[in-house]
Amino acid sequence: MFIGAQVSLYPMTSDFVPVILTGLEALAPYRDRLRIETDDISTLMVGAPEPLFAAMRDLFARSAQGGTHVALHATLSRGCPGEPDDPSCRCDVLAVAQGAPLAQRQAEARAAVATAPLTGVQIDMQFSLYVLGQDRHMDEIYGCIAFLRDSGTFLKSKNFCTRLRGDAGAVFETVRQAFLRFGPAEGHVTIDLTASANSPSAR
């Protein structure tokens, strides 16, 4: 299986270079578990969901700690039929999670969010889950939405996406659980997300 994300960070300041470099420094502990490639548009991260989401969380939280308004956009994919299998993407949790009834998957996802490590950085996020190539894909999406409403990070539903709010640790764990536990284990599932921290609009 191939699991990865293209991630772009946008600091809302003229002095943006130090903010981006500070965020990228947070990726150092993950370089032995993820393939990380940065260019002038985005950073590609390839690997299993646990370090992948932790790396995105730490990249964003570190860049936001200085108080600058920052936004992050990411496109995530697992099981894309157009990508080669990558051993670093091995994730036994996927098969185990998908073998469980929907109610059990929702309960396990809620428990994971409740015990997620906190960063001390409050963020907002909106994201959409896409279950591709499955006849009953809406059952999985509705099941995911039901989990989100009880996750503790749910803010509101919007057209085409769901809005989350809370500590970066809990919010990124919410999305990781959506990515892991909904949609077929061997199927193609994608997520589109945008996160924001320190927005003046919120104040």
Section 58-79 average pLDDT = 97
pTM comes to: 0.94
Place of tokens 């894909």: 137
- Confirm or reject CATH 3.30.70.930 for domain 3-197, answering yes or no: yes
Residue spans of the domains in the chain: they are: 3-197
Distances (CA, A) of 173 to 55, 114, 139, 162: 12, 9, 22, 15
* pLDDT higher than 90, residue 98: no
- How confident is the model over 86-100, as a mean pLDDT? 81
Q: How does the average pLDDT of the chain come out, rounded?
A: 93
* Distance (Å, whole) CA 80 – CA 169: 27
- The residue ranking higher by pLDDT, 93 or 39, is 39
**The tokens 């969380």 sit on which residue?**
57
Cα–Cα distances in Å, from 41 out to 9, 14, 120, 165? 9, 17, 28, 26
Confidence check: pLDDT of 135 > 70: no
Give the lowest-confidence range in 60-64, 82-86, 118-122.
82-86
In the prediction, which pLDDT does 187 show? 85
* CA atoms within 13 Å, Cβ hemisphere of 65: 13
Which residues touch 40 (CB under 8 Å, ≥6 apart)?
A: none
Reply yes or no on whether the pLDDT at 163 is more than 90: yes
